[in-house]
Amino acid sequence: MTELPRNPFRFGIIGRGSSPLQWRDMASRAEGYGYSTLLVPEHLDDPYSSLILMSTALEATTTLRVGSQVFCNDLHNPTLLARAIATLDVFYNGRTELGIGAGNRPMDVELAGLPFHSAGQRIEHLEVSVRGIKELFISQNQDAATSSRAPYSGKLAFPEIVQRPHPPIYMGGGGKKMLGVAARQANIIGITAKASAHGHLDINDMSPEVLREKLDWIRAAAGERFLSLELSMPILGVALTEQQLQLLNPILWRRYRPASQISLECHWNN
72 pLDDT higher than 50: yes
Q: What is the pLDDT of residue 148?
A: 42
23 pLDDT higher than 70: yes
Q: How does pLDDT run across 176-213, given as a tens digit for each residue?
A: 999 999 999 999 999 998 876 666 777 778 888 999 99
Q: What is the pLDDT of residue 267?
A: 33
Q: Which of 1-10, 77-86, 240-249 has the highest mean pLDDT?
A: 77-86
255 pLDDT higher than 90: no
Instruction: Report phi then psi at 195, rounded to 5.
Output: -105, 145
Write out the residue limits of the CATH 3.20.20.30 domain(s) in the chain.
12-236
Closest residue by Cα to residue 180 from 227, 230, 127: 127
Crossing angle of helices 119-140 and 78-91, rounded to 10°: 50
Q: How does pLDDT run across 142-160, given as a tens digit for each residue?
A: 665 444 433 444 578 899 9
Q: What is the pLDDT of residue 42?
A: 95
Which of the four CATH numbers 3.20.20.30, 3.40.50.920, 3.30.70.60, 3.40.50.2300 does domain 12-236 have? 3.20.20.30
